[in-house]
Amino acid sequence: MKSTQWPILLILLATFVFSACTPLVQSPPAATQVPPSPMPSPTQEWELPGWTLVWQDEFEGQEIDRTKWTFDVGGHGWGNNELQAYTERPENARVENGALVIEARQEEFVRRDYTSARLKTQGLHAWTYGRIEARMRLPYGNGIWPAFWMIGSNIEEVSWPASGEIDIMEYIGRDATIIYGTVHGPGYSGANGVGSSTNMPIGTLHDDFHIFAIEWEPQEIRWYVDDMQYFKITPESVPGEWVYDHPFFVILNLAVGGNWPGNPDDSTVFPQFLYVDYVRVYQRPDQITGSIGAGPIHIGDIRIEADETSSEWRAVAVITIHDADGNPVEGATVSGGWVGIVKKGETSAKTDAQGIVRLLSDPVEKQGEITFCVTGVSGQNSSYDKSANTSSCAKIEK
């Protein structure tokens, strides 16, 4: 009987030989291999008992929403001897598969060997008190430093650390299981910041998404990972001034190298990715004040009038504060100082319903010039945009 198996065996053998001997055909490797962004598992519902959702970014669009985020750009070390240049290129920050992707790359760029991104809500949105949370999947490796944090919106007027800083989540790659939460203020900043940490199971921070949050009340801040509280502070916990009763804006960034994490080494894999499923801000119903996400405010008008209701005369600085659309802003705090023949007087007050504040100088008898200059403007859920000011000083001469 004639066998019919030999032709089949010969075909299989030929297929194996040619498959084993033929090299795999691949396209040339790109400068940076970019795996597809992971699809986050279903996110939690927005509702939280006792809280009202006032702002959110679920990253469901095609690109980063520039009405919610702006970028820090540059590569000067950022006060920490960091190695990366921050850019606003899509190579370093983009939206993919319903998540924000911040990518740290090893590449030459503007005299730096690494690039990454730092997003912030400064000048667009800021809040006083609330639950601020983000659901994130973290990168890993020596020299890798992702952070989710907040800075006081008055930083341009009072500088750091007087502005206050709240680090909701920091992670350094060499400590693969540890999450840090810290505050920085006058007398307790940098290495002397007041904080704590919590340990997570090995690999879970890189392999899955977790929720990092603070609950910020007038006299207390609490830190959470996946709704498990691990730290809290009160005014009695800090060795200096409590500077956490004014608006703060949010920052998300992925640094490379620096004083704290150290630099990448041969074991560090690039690119590295920080994935952010969402950022949400909640507030207590009785703490929602002003227009949430009111954005930038500025001096719409400033002038000085003379008050001559007595034998002496006084200067009256009249300042009007506007939002980005030119509308008056009620409740903004305006601060400044007097210069000229009188150097004392009222220096700070809140705007009325028309967005106006009136500040009186001390009485003066002699003739001459008086100037008032605004040094700071702050408002609930707003940031001071000095670049939009008509002017910051006004003068009168008699």
Percent of the chain with pLDDT over 90: 62
User: 141 lies in a domain?
Assistant: yes
Q: Can you give the CATH number for the domain in which 117 is found?
A: 2.60.120.200
CB 181 within 8 A of CB 230: yes
Considering the candidates 170, 215, 241, 305, report the single residue annotated as catalytic: 170
**Nearest of 78, 80, 161, 176 to residue 120 by alpha carbon:** 78
Rounded to an integer, the average pLDDT of 40-44 is 64
Q: How many domains is the chain partitioned into structurally?
A: 2
Q: Are residues 102 and 234 in the same domain?
A: yes
Q: Are residues 89 and 233 in the same domain?
A: yes
Environment class of residue 285 by beta-carbon count within 10 Å: exposed (0-12), middle (13-18) or buried (19+)? exposed
> Is 80 exceeded by the pLDDT of residue 149?
yes
Q: What is the pLDDT of residues 241-251, one digit of tens each?
A: 999 999 899 99
Q: Is 165 a catalytic residue?
A: yes
Structural domain boundaries enclosing 272? 52-287
> Is 90 exceeded by the pLDDT of residue 376?
no
d(CA 303, CA 317) in angstroms, rounded, equals: 6
Q: Are residues 281 and 308 in the same domain?
A: no
Q: Are residues 262 and 316 in the same domain?
A: no
User: 37 lies in a domain?
Assistant: no
d(CA 378, CA 296) in angstroms, rounded, equals: 10
Per-residue b or e along 355-366, where b marks 16 or more CB atoms closer than 10 Å to that residue's CB: bbbebebeebee
> Is 60 exceeded by the pLDDT of residue 32?
no
Domain's final residue, options 231, 266, 287 = 287
Rounded to an integer, the average pLDDT of 228-232 is 98
Q: Are residues 272 and 322 in the same domain?
A: no
Q: Are residues 121 and 212 in the same domain?
A: yes
d(CA 225, CA 255) in angstroms, rounded, equals: 21
d(CA 40, CA 166) in angstroms, rounded, equals: 26
Q: Are residues 337 and 265 in the same domain?
A: no
Rounded to an integer, the average pLDDT of 218-233 is 97
Residue 124: its pLDDT value, please? 82
Q: What is the pLDDT of residues 55-72, one digit of tens each?
A: 999 999 999 999 899 999
User: 38 lies in a domain?
Assistant: no
Domain's final residue, options 234, 263, 287 = 287
Q: Are residues 249 and 381 in the same domain?
A: no
Domain's final residue, options 269, 287, 305 = 287
Q: What is the 3-state secondary structure (H, E, C) of the chain?
A: CCCCCHHHHHHHHHHHHHHHHCCCCCCCCCCCCCCCCCCCCCCCCCCCCCCEEEEEECCCCCCCCCCCCEEECECCCCCCCCCEEECCCCCCEEEECCEEEEEEEEEEECCEEEEECEEECCCCCCECCEEEEEEEECCCCCCEEEEEEEEECCHHHHCCCCCCEEEEEECCCCCCCEEEEEEEECCECHHHCEEEEEECCCCHHHHCCEEEEEEEECCEEEEEECCEEEEEECHHHCCCCCCCCCCEEEEEEEEECCCCCCCCCCCCCCCEEEEEEEEEEEECHHHCCCCCCCEEEEEEEEEEEEECCCCCEEEEEEEEEEECCCCECCCCEEEEEEEECCCCECCEEECCCCCEEEEEECCECCCCEEEEEEEEEEECCEEECHHHCCCCEEEEEC
Highest mean pLDDT among 3-12, 302-311, 315-324: 315-324
Highest mean pLDDT among 36-45, 163-172, 337-346: 163-172
Considering the candidates 103, 133, 165, 215, report the single residue annotated as catalytic: 165
Residue 125: its pLDDT value, please? 86
> Is 80 exceeded by the pLDDT of residue 141?
yes
> Is 80 exceeded by the pLDDT of residue 13?
no
